[in-house]
């Protein structure tokens, strides 16, 4: 029987990063993966392929609508969807091969098959008609999450799709109905709208992007509506009739009332994700789950069973690849006897639409609820030189600082490249920096990032360009 210091179940960003860090620290490590390729949801059917399609569809739209005003004359672009899907697949293949290389480089054994915990120190791996059991001093559960399903609405990945199916549609739907106005729905809606679909989004709550700063969500919704999105907020889809040539979706007000029927070619269900624990043997092994099916852990990622740990989407917290990666590193370090740590107050979130939305730290709603006195500094991209000359002036930067100490508590950005710009706020907040620190840091001119400096200046009511 093979024996290891650590067996990690799942090779998504949390799992493979945890395995690499453990190997760096001198452990003998194996990973267990049930899918044909490594990398989990993120690399295969999530973050990475969606970013490829977001980029390609944005280039398609730019060529159609923006080139001419910049003095670039080209014929009207024609969509070659199979070629675009091939572009997406090349990106996936490159990343997956990269993870395979990292496993070899770090001398990590890859065990292909479905992992099942038989108890502390034993993992069973079943695949290709054979079963093996391995011994290990430690086990990390990094099985990630699965799509959340709507009762009575059957996902077939052809006409009623999850995010997985929405990344591989064979043709552009004339009418796309999206259930859920969260990050995934808005990103995938952006892809297909740019490629020619009419997009309607139905959201149970009375706002888009639950959890994001309210003002940011409101302004962003207006931008999406200008692009052609139609939103039905405070509404729910109760049934989808698949019997006809087109789908007939029944929509009712969330608070109750008369239903209406909406026609669609494709319905995308993206109402969130749920922890993936199926077949892991957690109940038999005595591993405790919370009331939402997540693995319960302490501050050191340890479950109630000694030697079994859990990280990523399968535990509480935001379901983000980078959160899982940080937990993977910290967990490996703790197993090795070091002081691994994740600062949950500084985990950025990004919506990769155009414009992008990014945020880190507290929202205004969070601070009001906690009774924290705060100051706000805002700066619009309409007043930013680089954004003006590039004619990409949608959006703004908002900095929230503690009214007493000036410490930055949250930063929120709507605008081009917002996902790249958020990290200076993350670094500042990791070091407990103030709005004054940010305001006095020299920023290169002309860059969009100057808007962050100006928003920090605006906290002290001294923005220069506004």
Buried b (16+ CB within 10 A) or exposed e, 10-25: bbbbbbbbbbbbbbeb
Q: What stretches of 67-162 show up as alpha helix (H) in DSSP?
A: 81-105
- 225 exposed, middle or buried (CB, 10 Å; 0-12, 13-18, 19+)? exposed
Residue 412 falls in the annotated catalytic set: no
- Report whether 76 contacts 64 (CB < 8 A): yes
End-to-end CA distance of the chain: 69
Among 65, 341, 445, 465, which one carries the catalytic annotation? 445
Task: Show the beta-strand stretches assigned E in 142-174.
Answer: 145-147, 160-161
Buried b (16+ CB within 10 A) or exposed e, 363-399: bbebbeeeeeebbbbbbbbebbebbeeeebbbbbbbb
Q: Annotated binding site for NAD(+), which residues?
A: 180-187, 203, 272
- 346 exposed, middle or buried (CB, 10 Å; 0-12, 13-18, 19+)? middle
Q: DSSP string of 203-254?
A: ESSSSSSTTS-HHHHHHHHHHHHHHT-EEEESEEEEEEE-SSSSEEEEEEET
Helix (H) or strand (E) holding 176: strand 175-179
Q: Annotated binding site for FAD, which residues?
A: 51, 115, 143-145, 313, 319-322
Integer Cα distance of 31 and 233 in angstroms: 43
Integer Cα distance of 14 and 8 in angstroms: 10
Integer Cα distance of 413 and 380 in angstroms: 10
- Report whether 435 contacts 378 (CB < 8 A): no
Q: Annotated binding site, which residues?
A: 51, 115, 143-145, 180-187, 203, 272, 313, 319-322
Give the 3-state secondary structure of residue 458.
Answer: helix
- Report whether 349 contacts 209 (CB < 8 A): no
Q: Which of 459, 464, 413 is nearest to 435 (CA)?
A: 459
* DSSP label at residue 375: E
Q: Is 219 left (phi over 0), alpha (psi -120 to 50) or beta?
A: alpha
Strand partners for 457: none
| Length of the chain, in residues | 466
Catalytic center residues:
445
């Amino acid at each position: 029987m093979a024996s290891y210091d650590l067996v990690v179940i799942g090779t998504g960003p949390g799992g493979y990063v945890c395995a690499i860090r453990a190997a760096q620290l001198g452990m003998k490590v194996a990973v267990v993966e049930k899918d044909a390729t490594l990398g989990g949801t993120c690399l295969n059917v999530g973050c990475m392929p969606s970013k490829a399609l977001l980029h390609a569809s944005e280039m398609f739209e730019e060529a159609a609508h923006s080139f001419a005003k910049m003095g670039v004359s080209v014929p009207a672009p024609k969509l070659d969807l199979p070629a675009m899907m091939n572009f997406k697949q090349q990106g996936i293949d490159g990343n997956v091969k990269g993870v395979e290389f990292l496993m070899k480089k770090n001398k990590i054994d890859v065990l292909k098959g479905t992992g099942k915990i038989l108890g502390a120190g034993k993992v069973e791996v079943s695949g290709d008609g054979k079963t093996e059991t391995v011994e290990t001093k430690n086990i990390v559960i990094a099985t990630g999450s699965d799509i959340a399903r709507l009762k009575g609405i059957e996902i077939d990945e052809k006409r009623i799709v999850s995010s997985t199916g929405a990344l591989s549609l064979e043709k552009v739907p004339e009418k796309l109905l999206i259930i859920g106005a969260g990050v995934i729905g808005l990103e995938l809606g952006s892809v297909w709208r740019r490629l020619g679909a009419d997009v309607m989004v139905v959201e149970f709550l009375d706002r888009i992007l639950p959890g994001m700063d309210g003002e940011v969500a409101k302004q962003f919704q207006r931008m999406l509506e200008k692009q052609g999105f139609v939103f039905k907020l405070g509404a729910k889809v109760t049934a989808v009739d698949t019997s006809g040539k087109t789908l007939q979706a029944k929509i009712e007000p969330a608070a109750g009332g008369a239903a209406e029927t909406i026609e669609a070619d494709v319905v995308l269900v993206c109402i969130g994700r749920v922890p993936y624990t199926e077949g892991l043997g957690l109940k038999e092994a005595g591993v405790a789950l919370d009331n939402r099916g997540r693995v319960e852990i302490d501050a050191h990622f340890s479950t109630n069973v000694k030697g079994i740990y859990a990280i990523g989407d399968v535990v509480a917290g935001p379901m983000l690849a980078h959160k899982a990666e940080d937990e993977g590193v910290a967990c490996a370090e703790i197993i090795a006897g070091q002081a691994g740590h994740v600062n949950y107050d500084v985990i950025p979130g990004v919506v990769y639409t155009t414009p992008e939305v990014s945020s880190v730290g507290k929202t205004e709603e969070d601070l009001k609820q906690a009774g924290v006195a705060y100051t706000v500094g805002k700066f619009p991209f309409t007043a930013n030189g680089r954004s003006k000359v590039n004619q990409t002036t949608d959006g703004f930067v908002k900095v929230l600082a503690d009214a007493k100490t000036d410490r930055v508590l949250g930063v929120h950005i709507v605008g081009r490249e917002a996902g790249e710009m958020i990290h200076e706020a993350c670094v500042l907040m990791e070091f407990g920096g103030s709005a004054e620190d940010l305001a006095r840091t020299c920023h290169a001119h002309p860059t969009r990032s100057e808007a962050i400096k100006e928003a920090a200046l605006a906290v002290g009511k001294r923005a220069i360009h506004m």
